[in-house]
Amino acid sequence: MKFEKNMKKTTLLLTIIANSLFSLAQPLITNSSFENWATRYTKLAPVGWQCDSVGLITASVKKVSIPSVGSYAIQIGTMSYAGGVISSYISREDSVTSTPGNLTFDYKVYNNITSQFNGLYLEIYFKDSKKKDLRDFNWTSTGNNSSFASGSLAISFNTGEIPKYYMLRISYFNVGGVAGEYAILDNLKFSKPSASMKTLSNSLISVYPNPATGSINFTDKAKDKLIKVRLISATGQNLEFPVTNSSIDISGLSKGIYIVELIDTENKILKREKVSVLN
């Protein structure tokens, strides 16, 4: 009996420790940020994100499909409310496991009236271990982007500044616009400049040629179901390419050094290495 009680105490203690470690080591924002959704207040909301209550009730925050990449994204929009037009936002707070680099993402903005001050707005606040503000950053996109574009929010810290927490808020702002306008956002990710990203080795996968011009080819001896390739520029910009016939077309890229990440069907990185592009 005494042994069973001690075992129960030990199991409870280990559970508490494991849960504490999990809460302290939450992951940074990664690609496929909006794959997981759950029902709240009878409406779907992205897991890990807070939505303003009006958005949840009126479904101005929506889950949308992107068939070309086989994933989901989030739509943040405007609606008629109390005789006017209001906007919605999402936000999240999390711990930071390492000093983040730029915040990169894909976005599309749909405005019925492009002359008005409407668009997508990101603001992020970093705090130290005592949750005191360190630095804040913001990024804005106005106008109308009918197709996806890549965005990047440059993040840098002064010597001695070590962020431990962050709060990110993303909104679709609307001044003088109309209901039904929206923005779609996907692939949020903190990235490091290419010079500081570590190589991930995989001897069964080859990336060639290097330097490259026009295209990059791949040989996958393990048949790891390589489906897409992500290229990260020196400024932290993310570009994703579907793999066709073990190759990707990079003829539209600017000359420079890129980090190449090879990604499988489970969104796992199989290999990462630097490639020089000589276009």
> What length is written for the chain?
279
Contact 28, 100 (CB under 8 A): yes
Does 211 map to a domain? yes
pLDDT the model gives residue 47: 86
Distance (Å, whole) CA 168 – CA 182: 19
pLDDT the model gives residue 28: 53
pLDDT the model gives residue 2: 45
Task: Indicate the residue among 191, 222, 237 that finishes a domain.
Answer: 191
| Same domain for 68 and 201 | no
| Same domain for 200 and 148 | no
Contact 201, 271 (CB under 8 A): yes
Tell me 67's DSSP state: T
Cα–Cα distance list, 63 to 38, 43, 50, 105, 148 (Å):
10, 10, 14, 17, 16
| Same domain for 109 and 90 | yes
Tokens linked to 10 = 């030990």
Task: Indicate the residue among 157, 174, 191 that finishes a domain.
Answer: 191
pLDDT the model gives residue 179: 81
| CATH code where residue 132 lies | 2.60.120.260
| Same domain for 187 and 101 | yes
| Same domain for 123 and 177 | yes
| Same domain for 182 and 270 | no
pTM exceeding the 0.85 threshold for the entire prediction: no
With left for phi above 0 and alpha for psi between -120 and 50, is residue 41 left, alpha or beta? left
pLDDT the model gives residue 157: 79
Compute how many other C-beta atoms are within 10 angstroms of the C-beta atom of residue 233: 22
| CATH code where residue 237 lies | 2.60.40.10
pLDDT the model gives residue 272: 81
Which residue in 157, 150, 149 sits closest to 192, CA to CA?
157
Who's near 7: CB < 8 A, 6+ residues apart?
none
Task: Indicate the residue among 165, 191, 217 that finishes a domain.
Answer: 191
156, with CB counted inside 10 A (0-12, 13-18, 19+), is exposed
| Same domain for 210 and 170 | no
User: Could you tell me the mean pLDDT of each successive run of 10 residues in the chain, 279 residues long?
Assistant: 46 42 43 79 87 80 78 87 83 82 88 77 91 91 84 80 89 81 88 59 88 91 77 76 88 88 77 88
Domain count of the fold of the chain: 2
Tokens linked to 154 = 């440059």
Does 243 map to a domain? yes
In the beta sheet, which residues pair with residue 238?
232
Range of the domain at 260: 195-277
Does 3 map to a domain? no
| Same domain for 208 and 162 | no
